[in-house]
């Protein structure tokens, strides 16, 4: 009985320790963007409820979700155009780059990933003109395997839903 | 001590087999209408392989193919007008893909005018250990670098997945 209680406490301690680690990474990304561009994340109405729904209903297999939105991002400001560097600095080292899409009309998306026990965590940072978003989500590996069929489309699913991608299955 | 130069010489072909995408390519992002970079590393590919079905023939083929891969890197540029990228950028990659380590197995297979593709394979102990696809069109440039053991007969299954374009390989044909 004591062993079970000990294991239970250990599991609880691990879960508690793991959750803030994920949050800290997300916070680091948000703070990196905020400090570089001198903006503050805007509040998302009802997001607490959205997080709860995600936790319970797991839509598309998503188990955990964090999101920050940015408005009036001064992308034309001096030293603000090197978004690659900003994101590279903001995303903690243990995250691996997976997809980067940049377009001349001001849309940019970055997807990083890291393994998290049985799940995969994705960090998606997108900018479109003077608006930006950072999303961290945890998905089961089978869902990611399904999404990986077209990694550039993954950007469309998670980053910029409105962007039209060219056909990557082109035949030569 | 005398063995050192021999060891260095022996190591040279291995070093020469690794291709480096020229830094100039990154500058193309400024000209391109859209730039896509996809990097799929070994652990992620192996994880994806676990969840591909053995029952479905197409997924089973992809599963078998990616289980031997260490990485897939795709870099793709789309331009507004033809001729916006210099041939020297493509040549900088092509110049690294030389015999004996690399063999060009497809020269140009063009189904539509102006769409050219080259496929190079790296041979190690009579097995394909790497593959590079250079697909150059007037308004598009795509470079695919696949590292790992590859079965060419299964390569077509990879086309259209993981950002890799479909490339038609000739059967038992070496064009160089």
Cβ separation B43–A148 shorter than 8 A: no
- Whether chain A has a CB inside 8 Å of the CB on B171: the answer is no
Q: In what order do the strands lie in the sheet with A107-116?
A: A64-70, A131-139, A119-128, A107-116, A96-103, B34-41, B69-78, B140-148, B127-137, B116-124, B102-106
Is A136 contained in some domain?
A: yes
Residue A59 or B176, more confident? A59
- Domain membership of residue A6 (yes or no) is no
Contact B52 A145 (CB under 8 A): yes
More confident residue, A25 or B12: A25
Q: Taking Cα atoms as reference points, which of A148, A164, A141, A158 lies closest to residue B163?
A: A148
The answer to whether residue B146 neighbours chain A at the CB level (below 8 Å) is: no
Separation CA A118–CA A141 (nearest Å): 7
Could you tell me the residue range of the domain that residue B87 belongs to? 19-158
Cα distance between residue B89 and residue B75, in whole Å = 13
Read off the pLDDT of residues A128-144 as tens digits, 9 standing for 90 and up: 888 999 999 888 887 77
What does the buried/exposed string (b/e) look like for A125-153 if buried means 16 or more CB atoms within 10 Å of the residue's CB? bbbbeeebbbbbbbbbbebbbbbbbbbbe
Please give the residue range of the domain that contains residue A145. 21-158
Instruction: Tell me which chain A residues have a C-beta less than 8 angstroms from the C-beta of B29.
Output: 102
Listed in order, strand segments (DSSP E) in chain A are 64-70, 96-103, 107-116, 119-128, 131-139
pLDDT at B78: 93
Residue B62 lies in a domain: yes
Angstroms from A76 CA to nearest CA on chain B: 15
- Number of domains present in the structure of chain B: 1
Average pLDDT over residues B84-88: 87
Q: Is residue B169 part of a domain?
A: no
Predicted pLDDT of residue A111: 93
Residue B81 has a pLDDT of: 92
CA distances (Å), A125 to each of A71, B128, B138, in order? Answer: 14, 36, 31
Q: What is the pLDDT of residues A54-110, one digit of tens each?
A: 666 666 667 778 889 999 988 665 444 578 888 888 999 999 999 988 888 778 899
How many domains is chain A built from? Answer: 1
Mean pLDDT of the residues in chain A: 74
% of chain B beyond a pLDDT of 90:
14
Continuous segment of H or E residues that includes residue B75 = strand B69-78
A171 vs B166: CB contact, 8 Å cut-off?
yes
Whether the per-residue pLDDT at A148 is higher than 70: the answer is yes
The verdict on residue B12 lying in a domain is no
Q: ipTM value, please give it.
A: 0.73
For residues A8 and B115, the model is more confident at: B115
In a domain, A118, yes or no: yes
């Amino acid at each position: 009985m004591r062993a079970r209680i000990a294991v239970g406490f250990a599991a609880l301690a691990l879960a508690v320790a793991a959750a803030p680690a994920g949050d800290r990474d997300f916070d680091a990304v948000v703070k990196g963007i905020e400090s570089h561009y001198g903006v503050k994340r805007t509040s998302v109405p009802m997001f607490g409820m959205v997080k709860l729904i995600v936790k319970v209903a797991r839509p598309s297999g998503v188990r955990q979700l964090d999101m920050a939105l940015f408005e009036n991002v001064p992308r034309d400001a001096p030293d603000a155009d090197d978004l690659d560097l900003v994101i590279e600095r903001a995303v903690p080292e243990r995250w691996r780059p997976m997809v980067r899409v940049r377009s001349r009309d001001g849309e940019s998306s970055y997807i990083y990933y890291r393994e998290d026990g049985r799940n995969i965590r994705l960090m998606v940072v997108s900018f479109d003109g003077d608006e930006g978003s950072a999303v961290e989500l945890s998905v089961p590996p089978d869902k990611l395997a399904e999404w990986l069929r077209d990694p550039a489309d993954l950007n469309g699913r998670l980053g910029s839903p409105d962007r039209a991608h060219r056909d990557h299955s082109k035949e030569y | 001590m005398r063995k050192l130069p021999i060891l260095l010489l022996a190591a040279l072909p291995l070093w020469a087999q690794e291709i480096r995408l020229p830094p100039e390519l990154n500058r193309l992002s400024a000209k391109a209408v859209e730039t896509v970079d996809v990097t799929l590393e070994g652990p992620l590919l192996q994880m994806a392989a676990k969840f591909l079905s053995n029952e479905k023939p197409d997924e089973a083929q992809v599963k078998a193919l990616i289980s031997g891969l260490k990485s897939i890197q795709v870099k793709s540029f789309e331009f507004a007008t033809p001729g916006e990228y210099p041939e020297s950028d493509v040549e900088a990659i092509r110049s690294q893909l030389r015999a004996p380590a690399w063999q060009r197995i497809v020269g140009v297979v063009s189904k539509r005018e102006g769409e050219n593709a080259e496929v190079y394979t790296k041979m190690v102990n009579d097995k394909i250990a790497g593959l590079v696809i250079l697909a150059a069109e007037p308004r598009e440039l795509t470079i695919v670098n696949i590292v790992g053991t590859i079965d060419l007969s299964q390569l077509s299954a990879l086309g259209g997945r993981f950002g890799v374009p479909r490339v038609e390989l000739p059967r038992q044909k070496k064009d160089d």
